[in-house]
Structure 1
Amino acid sequence: MQKALLSTVTKVISGASLGLLVLVSACSYSNGGDPAPCNDPTPVTYAGVISPIFDTNCRSCHGAGVYQTLGGGNDYSSYQAIKNQSARLILGCISHEAGYNPMPKGGAKISACDIARIKSWIDAGQPNN
């Protein structure tokens, strides 16, 4: 009886271990893949990806008519306006890094995927189209 119980316990533990191994190996980061939070193959351009992110998260305070009163003078109303801003400031604020004002002000941090998209866009030279 003890031998049968031990055999059953061993099979359960082996099965659980195998299941955990399969789950962990499915993670792209553990496979040596890109640890980026999103793997969207769409080219990151201002018009196609970045402007909608700024529409959703930034322009209520940093838009054309309000950036001087609500946005601390930081204008994110257009492609050229964003290019004129410090990329380091933008990334520091949206990433909630120490020493930067966390943005959006009073709101939740934007998604890790959107932060990665903005960083990718900056790293690619901020293409417009």
Structure 2
Amino acid sequence: MSVFYSFSAQLRLALAGVSLLTLGLAAGCTYSHGDPAPACDVPSENVTYSAVVSPIFDAHCRECHGTSVYTVKGGGNNFGDYAAINRYFSPSKIIGSIRHDPNFDPMPQNRDKLSDCDIQRIEKWIAAGKPNN
């Protein structure tokens, strides 16, 4: 009986270790907002505002450029929704800012620039005529 108990205890410890390792690996594969990072295959993606661009703006822009705060925090630039972005829209200014190009205000302000994938997605969206759906 002690041999069975010893094996059972070792098996439980091994399973607990594997479980913790799996959780640790899963936690390392997330965006700052908790979703799994999508693969970066922009050329084959269907990049629309509602499916792809709006979540990027939610994660990185609307803290300052949202509908309720843009006049105070966002320099008067409202990126709160599709219609607001289209009223404002200056593709060269947005792209220059999110790329952190020289002579543009780097956005998001005082934070790291967007991932290359997210920048490519926004560029593709603009090039495709800014589709909403």
TM-score over 0.5 for the pair: yes
Aligned counterpart for 1:55 among listed residues 49, 53, 58: 58
Whole-angstrom distance in 2 between the partners of 1:55 and 1:87: 18
Aligned counterpart for 2:129 among listed residues 101, 125, 128: 125
Q: Among all aligned residue pairs of Structure 1 and Structure 2, give the percentage whose two residues are the same amino acid.
A: 49
Matched, 1:106 2:77: no
How does 1:6-45 map onto structure 2 within 5 Å?
38-40=40-42, 41-45=44-48
Q: Moved runs in structure 1, 4+ residues, more than 3 A?
A: none
Matched, 1:46 2:49: yes
In the alignment, residue 79 of structure 1 is paired with which amino acid? Y
Aligned counterpart for 2:79 among listed residues 67, 71, 76: 76
C-alpha RMSD over aligned residues: 1.3
Matched, 1:66 2:42: no
- Structure (1 or 2) with the greater helix fraction: 2
- Residues matched between the structures, number: 93
- Corresponding residue for 1:34? none
- Corresponding residue for 2:96? 92
In the alignment, residue 39 of structure 1 is paired with which amino acid? D
Whole-angstrom distance in 1 between the partners of 2:103 and 2:84: 23
- TM-score after normalising by structure 1: 0.69
